[in-house]
Amino acid sequence: MHELLERLGRGDTRLIEMCQRANHAWREFLDELNGAETGTLAARLGFFQPTIERIFESPTLGQTMMPWSAFAVLYDTQNGWGPNLQRARQLAEAFAASNCSKEVKDEARSCVISYELEPAAPVMVSGRKR
């Protein structure tokens, strides 16, 4: 995130194109893996990381932006997750299980918190989970 903010502060307008390219790459990736099991998605994420790093022209910026740009494809600021909620939860689980770098996994965890994708804890009623 530091590199992103630094480059934005310097007026690096190439970031807009990078985000557009990442958005397109994620749409293709998610369309291709539509209906795939979480394990398959997790395995493919590790292979997809270098693609995102190339798009952002930097390993550190690519690792930071990989999960953020992924979830951004599924989320709409006006309507929330809509029909993409289950897919977003699956993606969160896949990032956690992937062989992506620690940096990507840490950012994905931040995304899960930011986008409120954490599973709700079971409610205890009279000593029983509900």
Count the neighbouring beta carbons within 10 Å of the beta carbon of residue 78.
Answer: 5
Count the neighbouring beta carbons within 10 Å of the beta carbon of residue 34.
Answer: 8
Does 97 map to a domain?
yes
Does 129 map to a domain?
no
Structural domain of residue 107, as residue ranges? 14-114
- Distances from the Cα of 28 to the Cαs of 33, 105, 114, 125, in angstroms? 9, 21, 24, 44
Does 6 map to a domain?
no
Does 77 map to a domain?
yes
Whole-model pTM: value is 0.87
**Count: domains in the chain:** 1
pLDDT digits (tens, 9 = 90+) for 2-46: 888 898 899 999 999 999 999 999 999 999 999 999 999 999 999
